[in-house]
Amino acid sequence: MKKLSARRRHPLAALVVLLLALGATGWAYAALAPAEEAQADNSAQSLAIEEGKKLYDVGCASCHGSGGQGGSDGPSLVGVGAAAVDFQVGTGRMPLQQPGPQAEEKPNEYTQAEIDQLAAYVASLGPGPAVPEDSSYDPAEGDAARGGELFRTNCSQCHNFTGQGGALTDGKEAPDLHNTNPRYIYEAMTTGPANMPSFPDATLGEQEKRDIIAWLNTVNTSESANPGGFSLGGYGPVSEGLFAWTFGIGLCIACAVWIGARTAKARKS
């Protein structure tokens, strides 16, 4: 009894008891709580994939194959990721309305919840870009000036200087980016739909994508001013120069002809 009492009075006894209690609490939490949460998350994800598979079989499998392997009428969806589904289906490009040079934007046929389920199923076929968080494409968090430089370097060749869009080869076109949801712009940069190249984070980081979105948001708002005067549609220096040459020089030539005619008539008189 004396030995037991001496051990209880040892200066480290309280510390040892505290450490044992903390260890037991941590073990119990790790063994019980996270497992239940993970099980719930896995159950919800499995349900979304199951429902997405049903939607896929009805609306997508005829072109992309029963397992997303692709076919003569549609490419493989293995590895395209949830972001590609959210963009293509959310903008109405898919399901495809009719064969053509490229899928055209139209009102979508699915609710956002159904799009999320489709995206979950396609994402389960292979790893790919995920749907971005809201903060990833928030224009308020971007640098519009820097975004303008990036846009002119990487995007203006097809979409023109302010995102007005333009014609491409073989009947295709770069779409007008006015009034486009910033999330879809971000997903398009990530996934590279149709002829558009993809810009993964290794090429354009998240902040750089956000800067480009901030630039488009700035130049496409109704409040944005045109310091140079009439914008002529914002199609860039080539088209604007052609307009100036055709109408400006043409007007000068017309004035010169009119003056010459008047002068000749005055001489005859």
pLDDT, one tens digit per residue, over 41-61 is 678 889 999 999 999 999 999
**With 80 as the cut, is the pLDDT of residue 65 above it?**
yes
> Domain of 82?
32-131
In a shared domain, residues 95 and 120: yes
User: What dihedral angle (degrees, nearest 10) is formed by the CA atoms of 146, 149, 154, 157?
Assistant: 140
**With 80 as the cut, is the pLDDT of residue 224 above it?**
no
Give the confidence band of 5 by pLDDT, cuts at 50, 70, 90: low
Q: Which of 75, 97, 131 is the last residue of a domain?
A: 131
45: left (phi over 0), alpha (psi -120 to 50) or beta: alpha
**With 60 as the cut, is the pLDDT of residue 247 above it?**
yes
Whether residue 143 is contained in a domain is answered as yes
In a shared domain, residues 186 and 219: yes
In a shared domain, residues 124 and 72: yes
Residues 122-156: b if buried by 16+ CB within 10 A, e if exposed: bbbbeebbebbeeebbbbeebbbebbbebbeebbb
C-beta separation of 180 from 159 below 8 A: no
**With 90 as the cut, is the pLDDT of residue 253 above it?**
no
Other beta carbons within 10 Å of 198: 14
CA Rg value for the chain: 31
- Enumerate residues 6+ apart whose C-beta is below 8 A from 144: 211, 214, 215, 217, 218
In a shared domain, residues 147 and 212: yes
**With 90 as the cut, is the pLDDT of residue 118 above it?**
yes
Backbone angles phi, psi at 96, to 5 degrees: -65, 130
Whether residue 261 is contained in a domain is answered as no
In a shared domain, residues 220 and 204: yes
C-beta separation of 227 from 235 below 8 A: no
C-beta separation of 65 from 71 below 8 A: yes
Could you tell me where the beta strands, DSSP code E, fall in the chain? 166-167, 173-174
Q: Which of 74, 97, 131 is the last residue of a domain?
A: 131
* pLDDT one-digit tens code per residue, 135-183: 999 999 999 999 999 999 999 989 988 888 888 888 889 999 988 999 9
Whether residue 183 is contained in a domain is answered as yes
**With 70 as the cut, is the pLDDT of residue 133 above it?**
yes
Q: How many CA atoms lie within 13 A of 60 on its CB side?
A: 26
C-beta separation of 61 from 118 below 8 A: no
Q: State how many domains the chain has.
A: 2
pLDDT: which is higher, 230 or 101: 101
Q: Helix 81-90 to helix 182-191 angle, to the nearest 10 degrees? A: 130
CATH of the domain at 108: 1.10.760.10
Whether residue 249 is contained in a domain is answered as no
Mean of pLDDT values over 212-220: 91
Tokens 């073990």 locate to 27
Whether residue 269 is contained in a domain is answered as no
